[in-house]
Amino acid sequence: MAIQSARIGILNDAEPRPDGRYVLYLMQQANRARYNPALEYAVEEANRLALPVVACFGLLDGESGFPEANARHYAFLLQGLADAAAGLKRRGIGFVMRKCSPAEIAVDLGAKAALTVLDRGYLAIQRRWYAEIEKGIDGRVVQVEGDVVVPVETASGKHEYAARTLRPKLHRLWDEYLDPLRERKVAHRADGLRLKSGIDISDPAAVLKGMSLDRSVAPVKRFTGGESEARRRLKAFVAGGYAGYGAGRNKPEAAAASHLSPYLHFGQISPVEIALAVRATKRGDAQDRGAYLEELIVRRELAMNHVFYTERYDSYDHALPEWARKTLAEHAGDERPHRYTEAQLAEGRTHDPYWNAAQAEMRETGYMHNQLRMYWGKKILEWSPSPEAGFARTLRLNNRYFLDGRDPNSFTNVAWVYGLHDRPWARRPVFGTVRYQSGNSLRKFDADAYVRTVETLCAAERGDG
């Protein structure tokens, strides 16, 4: 199938450079060699121009490292890049990786490219890279949006109030974008280009060891990065937990989760590929399919909408609706029966064993079931000295420990705890009219079984026999 025109944006509308040696693809958001619209567009253009394709990646390290990223995040990222590099090599596509910013490597290699192709992310730091590349390359620059089902600006031209306002727009459009992506054959291999890479990604552990970064949060055993592992997990989910997802998704003990969020965050699997697999299976029913596509497309792309149309999406004063900030301010002085420091929260030293278990799952394995994430966040608001402090703590803990932290979903879900994409509820101490969540919500699933599961997972991370 052709790549939908709405996915393609021209940043520099120049003719391809006639003396270009290759078509360059900056592989920064979509870190995969297959089911990648930006890469397939680059292959199409290279075949048309009788040129090879070179993919590149700029690895941020040291003081210029990606904000809040640590050894846990980088280990997963590097594992995924090693897998992607192997896939690119099999296809005859070159791969260059250096310790520098994505903009630096793109501008440098773009000087000898017939044209440069970018993928697309929505965070502020990514948008700064794209602006630098657009300014720094005197040639054709094309951006291809491939990590959402419906392109963000096609889905909506404004910040959406809630899922209920974006949902009908996505439902009207998504069939047009849920098409299989055909892998293009590379007509001209890049084997003879001999471009200097600077990093041998075939040994991701060695690359990680040579980086200057925060090692206080260790890599995890529970998840291995890479598109191969992502597809293995997708296949296992469709064959297993997907049947019953509609009824079991809010019950951790039901084992209905796909555990694909880290792979989506690092661009190691396409949401279109996941949606097509879910639609194609004969397992499950309409309830399962509807519930999963709601999470994968509506909720996830609502998050993309939020960060795209909110300039300071990580700021309490800018990310939250006015009504929520007003009611939280009115109740900022309310008595809080329990108060904890951020260190106590991080270490899971509260009076609530279920909250502590959720924090342990996050801290030790880089993941937490969605049902617990809501409870986890609401309690931080309740136990913090002010709503502003709670917001900052929630975001820091989220981004520090979760493998899928620092994601549009992260910023949006944290803001949801404080009233984003919601409406006023009954007034309560501390929360005002922001939605409250009590321990009664734990009765909807077997909370004790969840605690036992977390204990087993943490023991596996420690290597306990």
Nearest partner of 157 among 309, 311, 372, 357, judged by Cα: 309
pLDDT of residue 65: 85
Whether residue 188 lies inside any domain: the answer is no
What's the pTM value of the predicted model, to 2 decimals?
0.97
Q: State whether 12 and 137 are in the same domain.
A: yes
Chain position carrying tokens 């190691």: 268
Both tokens of 301, joined, read 């792309």
The answer on 418 and 428 residing in a single domain is yes
Identify whether residues 157 and 299 lie together within a single domain: yes
pLDDT, tens digit (0-9, with 9 covering 90-100), for 375-417: 999 999 999 999 999 999 999 999 999 999 999 999 999 999 9
Looking at the structure, tell me whether residues 302 and 393 fall in a common domain: no
Q: Give the number of other Cβ atoms within 10 Å of residue 30's Cβ.
A: 28
Q: Write down which residue in 126, 147, 168 finishes a domain.
A: 147
Q: What is the CATH number of the domain that holds 123?
A: 3.40.50.620
**Same domain flag for 2 and 74:** yes
Number of domains in the chain: 3
Could you say which of 246, 277, 309 is where a domain stops? Answer: 309
Domain C-terminal end among 98, 129, 147: 147
**Is 214 a member of any domain?**
no
Beta bridge partners of 98: 58
Given this model, what pLDDT does residue 464 score? 80
347 shares a domain with 304: no
Angle between helices 408-417 and 300-309 (to 10 degrees): 90
365 contacts 358 by C-beta, under 8 angstroms: no
In this structure, are 119 and 231 located in the same domain? no
Nearest to 115 by CA among 177, 196, 54, 24: 24
In a domain, 220, yes or no: no
Residues of the chain with pLDDT under 50: none
361 within some domain = yes
Give the residue from 199, 210, 285, 209 showing the smallest Cα distance to 242: 285
Question: What residue numbers bound the domain in which 116 lies?
Answer: 1-147
pLDDT of residue 253: 80
Would you state the pLDDT for residue 173? 98
Is 24 a member of any domain?
A: yes
Q: How many Cα atoms occupy the beta-carbon half-sphere of 460 within 13 Å? A: 12
Residues 248 and 377 placed together within one structural domain of the fold: no
CA-to-CA separations, 236 to 58, 111, 243, 283, in angstroms, rounded: 32, 44, 11, 12
Q: Domain for residue 202, yes or no?
A: no
Give pLDDT, residue 214.
95
Q: Report the CATH number that the domain containing residue 297 is assigned in CATH.
A: 1.25.40.80
Q: What is the enclosing helix (H) or strand (E) of 118?
A: strand 113-118
Task: Tell me if 197 is assigned to some domain.
Answer: no
CA 173 → CA 50, 180, 270, 272, 304, distances in Å? 35, 16, 18, 13, 16
The CATH number linked to 386 is 1.10.579.10
| 3-class state of residue 365 by DSSP | helix
If asked whether residues 296 and 386 sit together in one domain, one would say no
Q: Using CB atoms within 10 A of its CB, is residue 423 exposed (0-12), middle (13-18) or buried (19+)? A: middle
Domain check: are 97 and 164 in the same one? no
Residue 218 lies in a domain: no
| Helical packing angle, 370-383 and 353-365, nearest 10° | 120
Residues 293 and 404 in one domain: no
Residue 337 and residue 403 share a domain: yes
